[in-house]
A and B are shown apart, each in its own frame.
Chain A
Amino acid sequence: MSGILQVISAGVQTSVQDGGRELARRYGVPRGGAMDLLALVAANRLVGNPANAAALEISGGGAIFTLLRPTLLALTGADLGAELDGRPLRPWVAELVSAGTTLTMSARRGGWGARAYLALAGGIEVPCLLGARATYLAGGFGGLQGRALRAGDRLEVGTAPQRCWSLAGGQWPAHARPAYGATPTLRFIPGPYDQALEPDSLAVLRTATLRVGPTSNRIGYRLEGLPLRFTQPQSLPSFGVLPGAIQVPPDGNPILLMAEAQTVGGYPVVGVVITPDLPLAAQLLPGDSLRLAAIDQDEAHAAQHLWASWLTAEPELDDWSAQLALSGALP
């Protein structure tokens, strides 16, 4: 049996994800793809893949993989205490590993983090459906047979980029990463239906601290701790929604829509978290807290500029690799 990565244990949940299906939204298919798009892009670019290539989204601890062939890999996103054959794996760094190496995830460290992203040179090779390789878990298609990985699965990669080995040791610059940490601040632009809320509710929402509810998943997070009140009963015709939208159902407990959210919704959307802060949301688990911060379009625009610079950042060679490169010792 061929393959480059064998799943010994899939941990809490591991699935194949990429940049998602933006163009399939018109058929009612969620964008889906990686929850933390910055971590996906960084992992791919560290190993020389196209930015949105398919990688593994590893949620929570307990995952164990064996690499069956030598490869260049990078692990980004949450620090889940990854080890290669018992030695700590440097996160956000492209690493060459030899055949037979075992990669294990223990549990999150530093009091934050939910999802790590593992990219292999060449990208995970699964069928491309509706423009993407992402697993749509609720819809049961994409990725590997439309499901999360389980023990015994073997994955193959596409053709590795030429001379990708020379990327080994490259590190994703710290200045091109989101401000990961416990109780992150998610910046949002109020509207379009924020006026549906009572003025008091609206004022509190602008700086609220909320807790991620127990039923939260890739579709969305139920946010607890602040029941919002409406000025009047709301009945809106369904309209298009996006990941990042904060919608409020009749019970007043807001829902933050995430990657696998449906394409339309009928609950009033009272604010939309800006794209650059969605990676911070992606790293929350049920029980974690977050802060909201209302901003205006100008602030959002500045954040979008920074976001674009993160996505296009160049990996940096660490001292050891740089010395090797200078000495001409790299193959």
Chain B
Amino acid sequence: MTTPRSEHEPFAWRWLPFGAAALLLEATPATPLANRLVLALADQLAAAPPDGVSGAVPAISSLLVTFDPLQISLAQLRPLIERLLAELEPAPDRPARIVTIPVRYGGADGPDLETAAQLLGLSPHELVALHSGQIYRVMMLGFAPGFPYIGPLPTALRLPRRSTPRSAVAAGSVAIAAGLTGIYPARLPGGWHLIGRTDLTMFDPMADPPALLAAGDGVRFVAEANGVVP
């Protein structure tokens, strides 16, 4: 995972065939604006899929478009997506929906808070204040059902992943790594720094939609009074 760049840095699209039935549209470098364009394009393709297009999975700076090669060719698909890109407004910088995530920071709920703060040259309080001090955006879902990649984090909170991943991370754990923050929707292996935990259900296959957060949503973390580091 590369660190998200600044909003206004220029980027270029690359059109990468992904086997015979998918196309990877990738922005280099990965900028927040590219992410907002990718999300808008994914929404557009889901709302009005062109003939032969079967799905679109957005990521931080790319979109994987799957298609039926017997219905539409790569050569036909590319100009069609280029036209959409030219007409699209990127997903808004200020999201329409902002979801508040209550977090108990530190202690057993955030076992890496102290070490992460140390690595960043901050006090645990400063880390919590920075993490909960602003509105982020969900840049993609992935890794596991309903796992949101949220960001970009302020420069002061950018850390590489832990050198040794954990084989099990508790459901609801709030974590930071690689310039992003995420929430583990279930008990899963994980390599990010765990700074807190929420009781919200992030993913429920019986619900519609099944994921609490959608790509493009705004997210605000709020320190719960009963956290170790309020």
A-to-B contact residues, CB < 8 Å: 22-29, 129-130, 139, 141-142, 188-189, 191-192, 235-242, 244-245, 262-264, 266, 269, 271-275, 297, 300-301, 303-305, 308
Contact = CB atoms under 8 A, between A and B. Distances in A.
Interface residues of B, number: 46
Contacts of B2: 235-237
A237 B145 CA distance: 19
B77 interface: no
A192 B145 contact: no
B145 A304 contact: no
Contacts of A301: 20, 69
Contacts of A272: 18-20, 22
A192 B18 contact: yes
Contact of B1 (A23, A266, A274): A266
Interface in B7-33: 16-22, 24, 26, 30
Contacts of B79: none
A266 B69 CA distance: 25
B55 A23 contact: yes
Contacts, number: 138
Given A237-B61, A238-B60, A22 B21 contact: no
Interface of B: 1-2, 16-22, 24, 26, 30, 42, 46, 54-64, 66, 69-70, 74, 140-147, 149, 186, 203, 205-206, 209-211, 215
Contacts of A242: 18-19, 22, 64, 66
A263 B61 CA distance: 15
Contact of A26 (B42, B144, B147): B42
A27 B18 contact: no
Q: Main secondary structure on chain A at its contact with chain B?
A: mixed
Given A262-B142, A304-B69, A239 B210 contact: no
Nearest to B22: A242
A189 B19 contact: yes
Contacts of A244: 19
Contacts of B147: 28
Given A130-B205, A235-B2, A238-B60, A28 B146 contact: yes
Contacts of B211: 27-28
A236 B70 CA distance: 31
A236 B141 CA distance: 16
B20 A130 contact: no
B24 A240 contact: yes
A93 B93 CA distance: 58
A26 to B, nearest CB: 6
A188 B26 CA distance: 21
B87 to A, nearest CB: 21
A29 B203 CA distance: 10
Contact of A262 (B26, B42, B144, B186): B144
Contact of B57 (A236, A240, A305): A240
A240 B19 contact: no
Contacts of A235: 1-2
Contact of A263 (B18, B30, B60, B142): B142
A240 B66 CA distance: 10
A192 B74 contact: no
B19 A239 contact: no
B74 A297 contact: yes
A142 B205 contact: yes
B18 A26 contact: no
Contacts of B144: 28, 139, 262
Contacts of B59: 237-240, 264
A29 to B, nearest CB: 5
Contacts of B215: 26
27 contacts: A22-B66, A24-B210, A26-B58, A29-B205, A192-B18, A192-B24, A192-B26, A236-B2, A237-B1, A237-B60, A237-B62, A238-B60, A239-B59, A240-B63, A240-B64, A242-B22, A245-B19, A262-B142, A262-B144, A264-B140, A275-B19, A275-B20, A297-B74, A300-B19, A300-B20, A301-B20, A304-B20
A27 B60 contact: no
